[in-house]
A and B are shown apart, each in its own frame.
Chain A
Amino acid sequence: MAVNLFYFLVFPGLLFAGVVGAFLSWFDRKISARVQFRKGPPLLQPFYDFFKLLLVKETILPKHGSPLVFLIAPIFAVFGATMAGVFILLPLFNITTGFRGDLLVIFYLLTIPSFSYIIGALASGNPLAAVGGSREMKLIISYELTFLLVIAGVIMKCGQKFDLDSIIQTQQAGSPFIGSISGVLLFIAGIFCIQAKLALVPFDMPEAEAEITEGIFIEYSGAAYAMIKLTKYIMFFILPAFLIALLMNGFKLEGIGILWAVLKVLAVVLALTLIKNTNPRIKIKQAISFFLIWMNLLVVIALVLIAFGY
């Protein structure tokens, strides 16, 4: 029990994932700044933002809405992200817990933050938040199938094994899955799914600042918004880590392997940031057809290639 709580609260869970995710979000902002020829924020900026929201600012409750649901939603979001983080990071750091079949659990836990955002947005009673919530819902519908197919492709590639442990071990015994044609196709589809899951720029219609002024988060302030920031930091670390576990060999935590692990995370985040900085926001209709037609086509081609052994 104490060990499980330690897993959840300290090491691969809340504290560790939150701190690493905060540094990654600084990395994202710094790279964005460098792309635009700016200097960018200082290293500890995500922590200043988080503690300012948590400790200094007032939390305002909606008058025409449900304050209880409005406040519980961010806590659920943090919980879902942390649970998913624990299940993703335990196999990556080579800690065996004896829990099998975790891929599907991870898949469901990763959607909890998005659903909590929708529930919180609808509970706030703000029309712009409702627009953001409906957009987020459509976005989930469009990318979820692609994401599931990517996971299915990885399961097919490693011989019908459903747990992250054996997927990582299969890759470390042989070669990483990204070294084949089908692996590259799965990686491309996976990167775009992560982009949509994190609501980064080509797919940031739920929180479009210019049209619907932050959309789903419009009514959040103070500590509740700090919880949402924390969820975003955690997701910013665990989703690239999940992709690395699925396709890029996982982490080997000995000697030079630690450096490689850090570089892999930074490379995936860099890819996400560069996509974010070189694309405009697309409409929700375009996002749906992008995922449901083109990305699904890409993944189906990859699945056929896997079936023929490429």
Chain B
Amino acid sequence: MGFKNYCFKKSLWVFHFGGASCNNCDIEILDCLTPRHDLERFGILLVGSIRHADVLLVNGSINMHDKERLIEVYNQAPKPILVIAIGACGCTGGFFTESYTFAGPVDKIIPVDAYVPGCPPKPEAIIAGIVKLLNK
């Protein structure tokens, strides 16, 4: 079990699900992969297909349209998969909470393993969140 877990922690492939986001969180997530922060040092890669993913990053407020798609993407992912909610909208709904299209924060729809609050969170905060999740 130790060896399997070690390999899993050393090679996390990330799939990015953007809800109805204002794009700030998307930019900060992409910032993590740029030369300054370089997440590939830890074996973290951005993949194009959910079938290859180990981590599902969800950001933005989830509205009625996004809800079905988020559930479908989550069901298509090979288990075990970690879900990280990024930003104020992903964690709680932010100021969209009272909107009539709002379908609940991410953790009401799919199980969430880690929350990275902030509007938007800094790349350092995202890296810190992933490290805390891995050391759990």
Contact = CB atoms under 8 A, between A and B. Distances in A.
Interface of A: 29, 33, 36-42, 44-45, 47-49, 51-52, 55-60, 209-210, 213-214, 217-222, 225
B78 A58 contact: yes
A56 B8 contact: yes
A40 B41 CA distance: 5
A21 to B, nearest CB: 17
Contacts, number: 84
Judged by DSSP, the binding face of A is loop
Nearest to A54: B7
Contact of B43 (A38, A45, A213): A45
Contact of A29 (B3, B4, B11, B40): B40
A51 B4 CA distance: 7
A44 B7 CA distance: 10
Contacts of B40: 29, 33, 38-41
A39 B48 contact: no
B78 A49 contact: no
A57 B35 contact: no
Given A38-B40, A39-B38, A45-B43, A59 B78 contact: yes
Given A38-B35, A56-B4, A57-B78, A218 B51 contact: yes
B49 A218 contact: yes
B79 interface: yes
A219 B54 CA distance: 15
Contacts of B80: 56-58
B130 to A, nearest CB: 15
A58 B50 CA distance: 12
A46 to B, nearest CB: 9
Closest 6 CB pairs of A and B: A213-B48, A209-B48, A48-B10, A221-B51, A48-B11, A221-B78
Contacts of A60: 51, 76, 78
Contacts of B69: none
Given A45-B43, A48-B43, A56-B8, A38 B38 contact: yes
Interface string B75-111: 0101110000000000000000000000000000000
Nearest to A212: B48
A219 B52 CA distance: 8
Chain B contact patch, size range? 20 to 34
A209 B47 CA distance: 8
Contacts of A48: 6-7, 10-11, 43
A41 B49 contact: no
Interface string B7-33: 110110000000000000000000000
A225 B52 contact: yes
Nearest to B5: A56
Contacts of A218: 48-49, 51
Given A49-B43, A59-B78, 13 more contacts: A33-B38, A38-B35, A38-B40, A48-B7, A48-B10, A52-B54, A55-B4, A209-B47, A213-B48, A214-B52, A217-B49, A220-B52, A225-B51
A221 B52 contact: yes
Interface centre among B7, B8, B49 (most CB of A within 10 A): B49
Contacts of A49: 11, 43
Contacts of B6: 48
Contacts of B49: 213-214, 217-219
Contact of A51 (B7, B51, B76): B7
A282 B6 CA distance: 38
B132 to A, nearest CB: 20
Contact of A58 (B3, B47, B79): B79
Contacts of A214: 47-49, 52
Contacts of A33: 38, 40
Contacts of A222: 78
Contacts of A47: 7
22 contacts: A33-B38, A37-B35, A38-B38, A38-B40, A40-B38, A41-B40, A42-B10, A42-B41, A48-B6, A49-B11, A52-B7, A52-B10, A52-B11, A56-B7, A57-B80, A59-B78, A60-B51, A213-B48, A214-B52, A217-B52, A221-B51, A225-B52
